[in-house]
Amino acid sequence: MLLNGNEFCDAIFTLGYNFFSGVPDSTLASAFKVLETNRQYRYVAAVREDNAVGVAVGAYLGGKQPAVFFQSSGLGVCMDALVSLACLYKIPLLLIVGWRGVDGDEAPEHRAMGSALPHLLRAIGIAFWVPERSSVASALKDARLWSLTEKRPSAVLIRRGMIE
């Protein structure tokens, strides 16, 4: 089942996430359009992925349950914020990552980071899910459960074309 941006954002919101931050990406374009126009999602746009993580951590400390959106190359930008802030202080962020560079038709820089993404997430102890179109909702639910149980960020990797 292919989700549209409204359904995708609603699936995350229904799980209890009530604060959103991120850096726009074309893989998640329809979700960003919803986040930017629907005030219920309390979305704060960031200019860098590490800023998005920092804003989300602040929201968590203020009583919110945050989700952070960015593309796979953004992991390199926010690695320090994830490891030395979110992981160290046991902040259960949900990372929604537009997984670029895995489908062979992207620029070399996306392919390089796209192939490294799973290895980097494992290296810093962040569990991740790569759902099929029919299992996006269950992957989000599993990531939430793991994140809350382990008190660590978790990630759901979204391939191009999974969200219309």
With a CB cutoff of 8 Å and minimum separation 6, the contacts of 111 are: 101, 102, 104
Domain membership of residue 120 (yes or no) is: yes
Count how many domains the chain has.
Answer: 1
Domain presence at residue 150: yes
CATH number for the domain that contains residue 139? 3.40.50.970
Judged by DSSP in three states, 23 sits in coil
Name the residue with tokens 């409204």: 6
Residue 71 lies in a domain: yes
Domain that holds residue 51: 5-159
In a domain, 164, yes or no: no
Tokens 């951590």 -> residue = 57
25 within some domain: yes
Which pLDDT score is estimated for 105? 65
In a domain, 84, yes or no: yes
pLDDT tens per residue, the chain (164 residues)?
558 999 999 999 999 999 999 999 999 999 999 999 999 999 999 999 999 999 999 999 999 999 999 999 999 999 999 999 999 999 999 999 999 988 776 777 788 889 999 999 999 999 999 999 889 999 999 999 999 999 999 999 999 888 98
Residue 47 belongs to a domain: yes
Quote the tokens at residue 84: 């030395």
